[in-house]
Amino acid sequence: MITNKRHAVYPGTFDPITNGHHDLIRRAAGIFDHVIVAIAANPNKAPMFTLDARIDMARRVLTDVPNVEVSGYAGLTVDFAQQRGVGVVIRGLRAVSDFEFEFQLANMSRHLTRDVETVFLTPQEQFTFISSTLIREIATLGGNVGEFVHPLVAEELKKRAATPVIRPAGT
């Protein structure tokens, strides 16, 4: 399979997309000709938002970045990249603690296919502490997430927090 090293995939759950994600995507779009923000279905993580909602939010947030496409996917990221003819997977590193997992993931990906390279990007300093998990928790507990996410994401989080999901015990 021919892979394009000028095209990249930035995979993640994006539950929800944060200003840190937006920063990395904008910068990746300045490096690569085309960036696919690949939103993983990943039902094992029990996301707050449906895949369709996460795709919709990301598309709306990223309208200012012309060479970015948003797509949902299920399965292995390297398989998605190969199916799309993309030769680079972008991974974000917020802190040294992220490195070990991301290093293992990059090596496993390389083992699965040598056609796809992994490139690490670090966020600007003001975004290093932002994670979707923390954003969801703050929003669920009624906190203000306005400085960490796009206004439309903050509004979606506010709506979602107003209608909590009740899960059976043990899930």
**Which residues carry out catalysis?**
21, 45, 94, 132
Neighbours of 137 (CB within 10 A): 12
Parallel/antiparallel/unpaired status of strands 117-121 and 86-92: parallel
> Rounded CA gap, 118 and 114, in Å?
10
Tokens found for residue 23: 């920063």
> Rounded CA gap, 95 and 122, in Å?
8
Write the single-letter amino acid at 103: F
> Rounded CA gap, 23 and 4, in Å?
23
% helix, strand, coil for the chain, step of 5: 45, 20, 35
- For tokens 């990395």, name the residue: 24
DSSP lists the bridge partners of residue 73 as 40
